Amino acid sequence: MNQVVITGIGVVSPVGCGLNEFWSALVDGRSGIRAIENIPTQRLSTRIAAQVLDFDPDTHFSPKRVGLLDRFSQFAVVAARAAVRDAGLEIDEELALEIATVIGTGAGGHITIDDSYLKLYGENAAKVHPLTIPRMMVNAAASHVSMDLGLKGPTFTTATACASGTHAIGQAFHMIRSGQTPVAIAGGTEAGLTVGTLKAWEALRILSNDTCRPFSKNRSGLVLGEGAAILVLESRERAVARGAPIYAELRGFGMSADAVDLISPDPDGAARAIRSALVDARANVEDVDYVNAHGTGTMLNDRTETKALRSVFGKHADKLAVSSNKGVLAHGLGCAGALEAAAMALALHSQTVPPTANYEEKDPECDLDVVPNVARQTPIRSAISNSFAFGGLNAVLVMGRA
C-alpha cells in the first residue's frame, strides 16, 4: 500500500484566504466571528457568523463565468487553485486523466436556492434564473474544480453534513493508498449564510448570540461559518521523486454511524470512528499527542466528544492536547472538517497546537487539556481530527509528522 502525504493546501476562510493569514489567526486565537454584514439581519435573532469578507469573485472569474458558479463553488475553485499552486503540481494530459477530485459539501448552492425562492414566493416572479439547477446542485463544486483544472479522473461529492469535508479527504486517501489514483484534490466547501438558512438553524435553538466557546462551561452554542479548504494528496514516493513540500502524512481514516438519533450525538458512535481510524493507521492510543476536536461549542456535543475521547484513550486522555478551531472559524458545516484537516496538517508541520479560542471557564464534564486561548509549541508525533455530523455520521482522520 502507498503512503499518502499532503503536499498542498488552499483555503478560503473567515480569517483570510492565504495560508499565512489562516494559520496565524488560528495560532493567535484571533476569531473570525463578527456581526453579519453580507445579508439583511432584521428578521434574524442571531446576528453573528464567521463570514468570508475579503473574497471578491470578480478577481478570480471572468464576468461571463462568475454567473455560472454559486458562492460555494467559487470558494472550492479558488481554494483548489491555491492548493495546486502550493504543491507545485504540474498537471499534464496524462496526469489529468488519473487525478481524483473529491469535494464535500453539506448543502450545495444555498444562496442560489434562497435567491430563487425569494423571487418565486416573495416577488411572485413567473420564472427563476435558467441556471438555478446547475448552480445549486451539490456536485457543482466538484464539477467546477475538475473543469477549472482540467481534471478527468474520478470526480464526486460527499454530502454528510458536518462530516462532508472529512469524508471527502478520507475517501481520497483510500484511493491513493490502494493505488487507484496517484494524486487527489480533496476537501470541503460551504456557503450557506442566507436568511432562510439562519432562520432554520435558529429553530433548532443551538445557535449562540455572542460567540463560540468550545469546552468552556459557559458555552452558549455554535456559530455558523463558511469557506473552503482543499488539500493535494499524493503518494509519498511520487512526492519525494518530484521534490514536493510535505506538510504531513495522512495515515488513517475511520467512519461510523450512531444509528441512534438524527440530532443528538452518541459517544459510542464517535468512539467507534476514532478506534477505526487508529486501526486503519496501525497506531496505538499512546502514539497520539494532539486531537483537533469537533468542538462545536454546544453543551451536548462537547460533553459527548469528551466521553468518546476518554473511552478510546483511557488514561492517555490526560496527556492529550485537545483543541477546537471553531472559536476562530465557527462551524463551517460541510467545509469544517476540511478546514480542520488543513489546520492539523499545519500543526504537525510547525509542531504547534493552536488554542481553543474564547475559552473562559473550566467544565468538569469536559475535563481534558483543551489548550485554552494560548498556542502551545510541543512535539506532535500523531494527531487525529474528529467530525461528528447530524444524522449520527462520524469521520476521523489520523495524521503523522512528515
Active site residues: 162, 294, 331
- Closest C-alpha among 319, 242, 290 to residue 399: 290
- Beta pairing partners, 322: 291
Question: Sign of the C-alpha dihedral, residues 197, 71, 208, 41?
Answer: negative
Residues for the chain: how many in total? 402
Place of cell 492517555: 316
Single-letter amino acid, residue 30: R
- Closest C-alpha among 193, 165, 184 to residue 325: 165
Spatial neighbors of 385 by CB under 8 A, at least 6 apart, are 166, 291, 292, 337, 340, 341, 344, 396, 397, 399
Spatial neighbors of 371 by CB under 8 A, at least 6 apart, are 321, 322, 323, 353, 354, 355, 356
Spatial neighbors of 292 by CB under 8 A, at least 6 apart, are 323, 324, 325, 340, 341, 343, 344, 347, 383, 384, 385, 386
CA distance 21 to 172: 27
Q: Which three cell numbers stand for residue 246?
A: 510535505
- Cα separations (Å) of 334 from 63, 128, 161? 27, 26, 6
Q: Strand, helix or coil at 367?
A: coil
Q: Which three cell numbers stand for residue 118?
A: 425569494
Element holding 80 (H helix, E strand):
helix 71-87
- Cα separations (Å) of 144 from 30, 70, 399? 32, 10, 28
CA atoms within 13 A on the CB side of 219: 31
DSSP state of 210: S
CA distance 280 to 292: 18
CB 227, CB 13: distance < 8 Å: yes
